[in-house]
Amino acid sequence: MIIFDFKQDFEIDDALLINFIHLNQQQREVVRTWRNSEKIRKWMYTDHIISQVEHKIFLRDLEDSNAAFYWLVRMWDNDIGVLYFPHVDFNNKNAYFGIYSNPDSRILGVGKKLDMLALKLVFERAGFQSLWLEVIEDNKISYLHKEMGFVEAGKLREFVQKDNTWKNVVVMGLVREEFLELYGDNNK
C-alpha cells in the first residue's frame, strides 16, 4: 500500500500550506492564539483556552502521528487560516477535515478557499475516495460546506455540550465521483 505523505508542505494554486511540524516559534504562537480566540474555540469540541505547554505537547505529538495533519495556510502574503485532518484512514482512503480562518482577517472568501484546498489535497493529490467533516448544528459554516458540494450524511444527536446545552453535530461528506462532477479532474 502506498501512503501519501501528508507531513510535507504543499503549494496548491496560489496557497502555501505549511505543516504544523515545520512552523517556526512565532507561527506556532499565531495558530495557538487563533485557536484560543472565542470566534474559533466556541465551535470546537474542545473549547478551553490552550496553554503554551499543551500546545507544545500537541505539536510534538503531530510529529509522531500518521493519522493527524495540520497546516497553516498562507495566501496573498497573509496567514489566512488553518486546514487540518484530525483523522486520516490510508487503508480506506478517507479523511475527516476541519478549517478555521484567521479570526482577525477581513479577507472575504477564506472559508471557501480553505475548503477547496482540502478538496484538492485529498482528491487530486492524495487520490482519496471520500472527505468528511463534523460541524456543530447551529454553526453557519455548514452552509458553506453545502455550497462546496458536501452532502449531509447523518446527525450525531446531543453529541457535544456547549454552554450547558447538548448540541447535535451534523456529519457531511463528499466522495471522489461527486468532486469530479463538480470540479473536474486537474490530473488528466
> CA–CA separation, 63 vs 69, rounded Å?
9
User: What digits encode the pLDDT tens for the residues 134-152?
Assistant: 999 999 888 899 999 999 9
Q: Which three cell numbers stand for residue 96?
A: 475527516
Amino acid 74: pLDDT: 97
CATH top class, domain 10-183: alpha beta
Dist CA 71 CA 81 (whole Å): 9
Could you read off the pLDDT of 21-77 as tens digits, one per residue?
Answer: 999 999 999 999 999 999 999 999 999 999 999 999 999 999 999 999 999 999 989
What's the half-sphere exposure (Cβ side, CA atoms, 13 Å) at 38?
0
Q: What is the DSSP letter of 51?
A: P
pLDDT digits (tens, 9 = 90+) for 80-118: 999 999 999 999 999 999 999 999 988 889 999 999 999
When pLDDT is averaged across residues 173-178 and rounded to a whole number, the result is 98
Query: Which amino acid does the sequence have at 26?
Result: Q
